[in-house]
Amino acid sequence: MALVMLGVASVIDVWKREIHDYFWIVFGVIGFLLIFLSPDLISDLFTLGFSLIIVPIVIIMWRIGFFGGADAFALIALAVIAPMATFSETPITPFTTLSNAVILFVIPFIVNVLRNVIAQIKGENIFEGFEETTGRKIIAILMGYRAKNPKFGFSIEKTKKGKKKLNLKLHHAENQDFCTKPDTWITPGIPYLLLITGGFLIQLVYGDILLGQFLGL
């Protein structure tokens, strides 16, 4: 059921970039009720209680702006539906799906770098009109790219005293509108649910990447 929930949610997130809270409530309630059909109810309730220690952490991360509310609710619903689920012998924790997803978060940075390298190979001056230090340009190359027709991305540039400047501050994932201005530096609005889904799949087949490396497994 967890894979069905994440699969459907990922499609909706990519398609509409918005998932109603009722989606998570329905799956969470169903998952909780199914626990009472378990032949080992006490053990499963203990596992559920342990897995829910992730709740305050993801709520704090959501409020800070590291990801959206849908991502936080997905992790909470996942903790209810499939607490500590894995087919691997590698130890896992209530934070395994999240930590695996964080590792997968490196992929968008690699994609951004490749986009910018390809643009420069084509002869495009991606920093035309900007007066920035080399360090800030490197950060921008990692964070985003110059989009001719932005879609599902957030602007990381601003105009100050008539000059273009890079705006590399952290913005809340839910409090900023997508950029529609042509030829603008943006950071892509990554559907983090895809990374959560990937993190959960890794948890099922491998376990915890970070913990496995730490323990030498």
> What pLDDT is attached to residue 24?
92
Question: Would the pLDDT of 217 be above 80?
Answer: no
Q: Which residue has the tokens 């002869």?
A: 123
Picking from 197, 205, 196, the residue whose alpha carbon sits closest to that of residue 85 is 205
Name residues whose C-beta falls within 8 Å of residue 186's C-beta, 6 or more positions apart in sequence: 144, 145, 146, 147, 150, 153, 154, 155, 156, 179
Q: How confident is the model at residue 165 (pLDDT cuts 50, 70, 90)?
A: confident
> What pLDDT is attached to residue 174?
65
> What pLDDT is attached to residue 123?
92
Q: How confident is the model at residue 89 (pLDDT cuts 50, 70, 90)?
A: confident
The letter for the amino acid at 64 is I
Task: Output the average pLDDT for the chain.
Answer: 88
Q: Reduced to 3 states, what is the DSSP secondary structure of residue 11?
A: helix
> What pLDDT is attached to residue 153?
86
Give the pTM: 0.82
Contacts within 8 Å (CB) and 24+ apart, 46-51: 47/83, 47/84, 48/79, 48/80, 48/83, 50/83, 50/84, 50/94, 51/79, 51/80, 51/83, 51/84, 51/94
User: CB count, 10 Å around CB of 133?
Assistant: 9
Q: Which residue has the tokens 């920093």?
A: 127
Q: How confident is the model at residue 110 (pLDDT cuts 50, 70, 90)?
A: very high
Question: Would the pLDDT of 10 be above 70?
Answer: yes
pLDDT tens digits, one per residue of 33-64 = 988 988 888 998 999 999 999 999 999 988 88
The letter for the amino acid at 156 is I
Question: Would the pLDDT of 83 be above 80?
Answer: yes
Mean pLDDT of 4-17: 86
Q: Which residue has the tokens 């699969």?
A: 7
Residue spans per domain, the chain: 2-93, 106-188
